[in-house]
Amino acid sequence: MARLYLNESPFPPSPRVVEELARSGYVLNRYYDRELWNKLIKLLSHYAKLPREYVSPYPSSSEALCKLLRLARRERLRAVSLRPGFHAMKDFARVEDVELEYFDLELPSFELDVDKLLKTVDENTMLFIFNPNNPTSNVLIRDPSIVREIASRVRILVIDEAYYEFSGITFAPLVKELGNLVIVRTMSKAFCLAGARVGYVLASPEMIKRLDSLRIKFDIPIPSIAAAVAALQDLDHVKKVVEAIKVMRSRMARELEAMGLRVLPSATNFLFVEVGVRGTEVAAKLREKGIMVTAFDDPPSIQNFIRVSIGKEDENARFLRALREVLKEMGRLAN
């Protein structure tokens, strides 16, 4: 099976991770390792170019998003997310018992109409923006002044930068100026550590205190911390991974466009492709051919799309071959 449906990195993490993981085994009888934890904070602080008190690691960015939703419930805020947007938010809202509202992106290219957004949100809103967005792969905001404006109009502005290393765009420096801005990042993508479940939050010390008060002690396992530390000590590996994925992504986008398909401009490790027929059907047929991709029935505007992660060379080639066959079968491509 080619796993191209979770936007995982096709490459394993830095070889240093293996060593550090093994080493963590010798202290696994302990709930925490202060030294390792401090190393992680220091490395993240250096990586995000922010003082330590602006950084808080979480057991996955998913958990950080859950805790933010929990904060919204506690403080009786409206939680608003964009649509189409990160589909897991629905699950997070369910487990956190939060009713999520949606704001629609503009067709046909799923862009953000900021003026319209500002008319929808209010001073009682916790707004979630995934930048770049998922599943649409595009960047929604490039300009810090837009972030400043939105932040001034909501209670809390959460910007998820899961694909920061691919987009090169971050608003992390703004957390020093905007007390209500929360940046959420993950080590699952460019750092190739999805299985370690490590993410982090960048925000004002006050905001971090509020958020951290909603979690329990020792919630990040020592081996995960060790893996994150090792990965952060090998930024060359991250750079190589990101470059390799970008090269393959361009090639794949060109091939898909050559098939007459619309591909959204991607700033991530995946592509969002308009296939012209029901995406869930295409995904089911691809699965029969050993290729796993994602498609969505909701919202209707993306029913004719599939989301495909950039995999290894041979996986991408197999995907393209299989997609051609499927679209021919479905009458969408000429034989």
| 4 Cβ contact list (under 8 Å, min separation 6) | 270, 291, 292, 293, 308, 309, 310, 311, 315, 319
Return the number of the residue (21 or 235) whose C-beta is nearest a copy of itself: 21
DSSP-assigned beta bridge partners for residue 57: 200
If binding is defined by CB under 8 A, does position 11 make contact with a copy of itself?
yes
Residue 219 vs residues 77, 90, 193, 231: alpha-carbon distances, Å: 26, 23, 17, 20
Candidates 174, 214, 235, 317; binder of a copy of itself (CB under 8 A) is: 214
Cβ–Cβ under 8 Å, residues 181 and 157: yes
Cα separation of 331 and 335, whole Å? 9
Chain centroid to CA 70: how far? Answer: 19
Among the residue ranges 19-27, 133-141, 250-258, 277-285, the one whose residues contact a copy of itself (CB under 8 A): 19-27
| 329 Cβ contact list (under 8 Å, min separation 6) | 285
If binding is defined by CB under 8 A, does position 196 make contact with a copy of itself?
yes
Candidates 148, 215, 246, 332; binder of a copy of itself (CB under 8 A) is: 215
Q: Which two tokens stand for residue 312?
A: 């290894």
Footprint (CB under 8 A) of a copy of itself, residues 290-319: none
Cα separation of 294 and 280, whole Å? 7
Candidates 6, 106, 206, 265; binder of a copy of itself (CB under 8 A) is: 6
If binding is defined by CB under 8 A, does position 138 make contact with a copy of itself?
no
Q: How far is the CB of 8 from a copy of itself (least distance, A)?
A: 5
Q: How far is the CB of 184 from a copy of itself (least distance, A)?
A: 14
If binding is defined by CB under 8 A, does position 245 make contact with a copy of itself?
no
Q: How far is the CB of 86 from a copy of itself (least distance, A)?
A: 12
| 143 Cβ contact list (under 8 Å, min separation 6) | none
Convert residues 81-110 into a mask of x (bound to a copy of itself by CB under 8 A) and - (unbound): -------x--xx--x-x-------------
Candidates 56, 62, 136, 268; binder of a copy of itself (CB under 8 A) is: 62
Among the residue ranges 130-138, 159-167, 213-221, 254-262, the one whose residues contact a copy of itself (CB under 8 A): 213-221
Element (H, E) at 3: strand 2-3
Cα separation of 103 and 115, whole Å? 12
Identify residue 300 by its one-letter amino acid code. Answer: P
Candidates 46, 49, 74, 328; binder of a copy of itself (CB under 8 A) is: 74
Q: How far is the CB of 221 from a copy of itself (least distance, A)?
A: 4
Cα separation of 210 and 69, whole Å? 12
User: What one-character DSSP code corresponds to residue 277?
Assistant: S
Candidates 144, 173, 179, 221; binder of a copy of itself (CB under 8 A) is: 221
- Comparing C-alpha atoms, which of 245, 330, 310 is closest to residue 7? 310
DSSP-assigned beta bridge partners for residue 82: 103
Q: How far is the CB of 62 from a copy of itself (least distance, A)?
A: 6
Among the residue ranges 22-30, 119-127, 143-151, 202-210, the one whose residues contact a copy of itself (CB under 8 A): 22-30
Q: How far is the CB of 295 from a copy of itself (least distance, A)?
A: 18
Cα separation of 23 and 155, whole Å? 43
Give the binding site for a copy of itself (CB under 8 A).
3, 6, 8-13, 17-19, 21-22, 24-33, 59-60, 62-63, 66, 70, 73-74, 88, 91-92, 95, 97, 188, 192-197, 213-224, 227
